[in-house]
Amino acid sequence: MNLPPPGRPAVFLDRDGTLNVETHYLHRVEDFAWIPGAPEAVARLNRAGLDVVVVTNQSAVAHGYCEEADVVRLHRHMQESLAEHGGRIDAFYYCPFHPEGRVARYRASTDRRKPGAGMFREAIRERGIDPTRSFMVGDRNSDIEPARSLGMTTFLVETGYGSAEKERTAADRVVADLSAAAACILRLCAESDGGGTAAPDHPS
């Protein structure tokens, strides 16, 4: 009997506070700034053959600060900037909904909004990802919870809200920033299969 091929490993990333400097309801390109070292970290993950996927709550849309087109425009800017560093995001998933949103069509409770796992499940299904061989990097426990529920190895960064959230986190590891997380991820991948990209279930 032919078995289906194993899913690919991936690195899931939160956006605000993990990739870019945390800014209140960020939606304008001119207000965007990378956390130092983040573009280079993404490029290193790309070169290792890992799928890099952003999963981000964007309730600024629900609260009327911007339109979905602004979110897409900002993500396009991120891709253009990453290309200058030899990197890319393989897929963006965002949730514009919020249960208390001021914009009626975006006022909703949904599993897509973290700490729900809806965006993760969508990416896993669409991109053929094996969550047990994958990682999550974020600055909030609402990033960590859905990833752990799916069997991922999780990293809480101390950038963004991470320095406050680390005292009560269930993350597998707490690291300084995305650069440190990427270095650890690549080391774990190398240790698990002699240099390939398969990820261990969880670091000890």
Q: Is 14 a catalytic residue?
A: yes
Answer whether residue 130 shows pLDDT above 90. Answer: yes
**pLDDT of res. 199:** 45
Global pTM value: 0.92
**pLDDT of res. 192:** 81
Q: Domain spans of the chain?
A: 10-193
Q: Which two tokens stand for residue 40?
A: 């280079």
Could you say which of 16, 51, 139, 177 is catalytic? 16
Contact 115, 56 (CB under 8 A): no
Could you tell me which residue, 3 or 120, shows the higher pLDDT?
120
Superfamily of domain 10-193: HAD superfamily/HAD-like (3.40.50.1000)
pLDDT tens by residue, 40-86: 999 999 999 999 999 999 999 999 999 999 999 999 999 999 999 99
- Single-letter code of the amino acid located at 20: N
Collapsing DSSP states into helix, strand and coil, what is residue 4? coil
**pLDDT of res. 202:** 45
Q: Is 111 a catalytic residue?
A: no
Answer whether residue 104 shows pLDDT above 90. Answer: yes
